[in-house]
Structure 1
Amino acid sequence: MTLPDPDGYKQILPNLPEAALVEELPDNDFKAMLTSQGGTLLFTIRPSETSSGLVVLGSRPRGLNYTGADLEFGAGLVAQAGVAFENSWYVRETLERKKIEQELELAASIQEKLFPECLPSLVGYDLAARNVPARQCGGDYYDALPIGNAHHKSGRADERPYLFCVADVSGKGLPASLLMSNVQATLRALLGRLPSLAELAAHANELLYATTPANKYVTAIMVQFDPQIGMVRYVNAGHNGGLLLRAGGEHEWLKPTGTPIGLLAGLPYEEASFQLDPGDLLTLFSDGFPEAQDVSENEFGEARLLDYLRGVRDEPAKTIVHGAFEEVDRFAGAAPQYDDITMFVIKRTA
């Protein structure tokens, strides 16, 4: 028997008895449809609280009538079949979920390789970075890319300029990680081809605007750093995360100098600059830090982050970074991490 409009009868299923003769059902279109197709006996498949299907039998051979024992026996068989159907569904769902988890694990391992294996070793500087996604894959990104030839003016490879960046793609999970890989490829393709950081940001903006959905964009802070003289030039593309902590205790937040990348086309970006002196600490981070919440939905906040950095500024960069994540974990307590978290520390030691 084939139902002409299965979806149209779904609302009737919860009200049907476990077993019944079709002729005893209330007069309605559903009964008329069953009768027109020779349906005589009806069983409802109900393995749990929700009805999931029907078993309809035609007339018995040789004109015999169905008895109460037939209804009871048939209801028992259908109940067992319903449990088997449900178990089969759970098995398929479990296998499908396992397949998805395996694919996500593979995507996460691929994404992990997009981050630098190690940060450059720069004489007079201490660098450290870390990323912890909220899910298996994330939309945060950090990088350290050499600019120009393998050797700088001094002839020393560890003194060439670098591009340091932290970026945060809108959204979370696998879609954000795919866009993050696009951001990485774009920056690496454009780096060294353009005369300024502002033009790099502008070109990246046009490329991402043309190739991503309207609701997808990237906030980023990009730092061009010359370790020979400690000069920092940066573009802040709608990103919140940049803090300069001076050796004397003064601090400065690196304010936005342009819109998020990929959000709007044709807008310019400005560069800002400062000198990183001995004892200064530059921290780049994603909004997962200040926006981390505890169980009462209180935010960690930039003020708490600043207080933490003031207290550990004399520690090695790696200790500062890992301690920051521990600080957020203590603050959040039992609250789950709902956003990706990234931090990149550049500390001038001499």
Structure 2
Amino acid sequence: MFSLFRHETHQYRKPQPANMPDHPQIHFFALYRGARTGGDFYDFAAVNGRILMFFCDISGNRDEALHIAASVQETFQKNAAELFSGSDINESDRLSDLMLSLNRSIIDVAGGPRYTPAFLACMEPGSGMLTYINAGHLPALVRDSDGITTLDASGLPLGLFTHSTHDAQICVALPGSSLLLVSRGLVETKRHHEEFGIDRVKNSMLEARFVDARELCAAMHAAAQEFLDNKQPDNDLTTLAMVRPQAAAQTTV
């Protein structure tokens, strides 16, 4: 298995900036702040009326992680366009196929195992149906009128075994609901010896006041900074949010 990392000289690449989807029925945003030490990566793809999003944390040296992310981004964009181009497709099966290709891309470029928790999802803006795979990542949090629901991991992280497969799950993002993904760095950021923790993430999301995904991401970062007494974090703090406004109910087809 070929890997640039096995040679003394490396030509590292970096992923391109993610293009935030612009859709009238669903708001998306991602925000990154911190120490620039980790391998957090996210990207989006709009294909045939669907919006796909990918979020992962590639372990190891930052330069190597970003190099892997560049290849993962190419695989994500190319295969998402191919797999989701049709109108009459099984989103669950296609999402599993896409995740398998991302897993193999990580292992191929790394030249071996590379622990990579990841979350992959496909959103249909009209219906609000969210098909997703959580591969060893922190739970995605869905806030609606009933409170917080967690979309927990149901499979191994990527980058461990070339033939690992992941089954997709389905939930519905109702008008007025929101989804939040946070990096391990945000959850594990510490004040003295105390971590911010997933429970604080949940409580901060419940208490946050926002109208779109940008404001939700900003509110979560503000909560983490308040916890840190506005000191510089030691970890990368990354959030990705999706908000389906109440008005989406009037435009659903």
- Equivalence map 1:305-316=2 (5 Å): 305-316=201-212
1:320 maps onto 2:221 in alignment: no
- Equivalence map 1:168-317=2 (5 Å): 168-194=57-83, 196-249=94-147, 251-294=148-191, 296-317=192-213
Distance 1:179 1:280 in 2: 33
Cα-to-partner distance string for 1:195-216 (whole Å, 9 max, x where unaligned)? 5101111122223223314452
Partner of 1:116: 18
Partner of 1:146: 46
Instruction: Quickly say closer, same or farther: Cα 1:258–1:313, change in 2 above 3 A.
Output: farther
Unmatched segments (≥5 aa) in structure 2: 1-11, 84-92, 248-253
1:345 maps onto 2:245 in alignment: no
Query: CA offset at residue 123 of structure 1?
Result: 1.9
TM-score, L = length of structure 1: 0.60
Query: CA offset at residue 145 of structure 1?
Result: 0.5
- Equivalence map 1:3-42=2 (5 Å): none
Partner of 2:29: 128
Q: Which has the higher contact order (CA 8 A, sep 6+)?
A: 2
Query: CA offset at residue 347 of structure 1?
Result: 0.9
Amino acid at match of 1:122: H
TM-score, L = length of structure 2: 0.81
Distance 1:240 1:114 in 2: 24
Partner of 1:329: 225
Distance 2:41 2:115 in 1: 13
Cα-to-partner distance string for 1:168-202 (whole Å, 9 max, x where unaligned)? 11135222221222221221222133351011111
Q: Give the number of equivalent residue pairs.
A: 226
RMSD: 2.2
- State percent identity of aligned pairs: 25
SS in 2 for 1:186: helix
Amino acid at match of 1:140: D
Partner of 2:51: 162
Distance 2:183 2:111 in 1: 22
Distance 2:219 2:210 in 1: 13
Distance 1:199 1:224 in 2: 13
Kept in 2, the 8 Å contact 1:166–1:342? The answer is no
SS in 2 for 1:232: strand
Query: CA offset at residue 308 of structure 1?
Result: 0.8
Unmatched segments (≥5 aa) in structure 1: 1-106, 149-159
Distance 1:312 1:304 in 2: 12
Cα-to-partner distance string for 1:146-185 (whole Å, 9 max, x where unaligned)? 124xxxxxxxxxxx10101211111352222212222212
Query: Which range is displaced more, 339-348 or 228-237?
Result: 339-348
Amino acid at match of 2:130: V
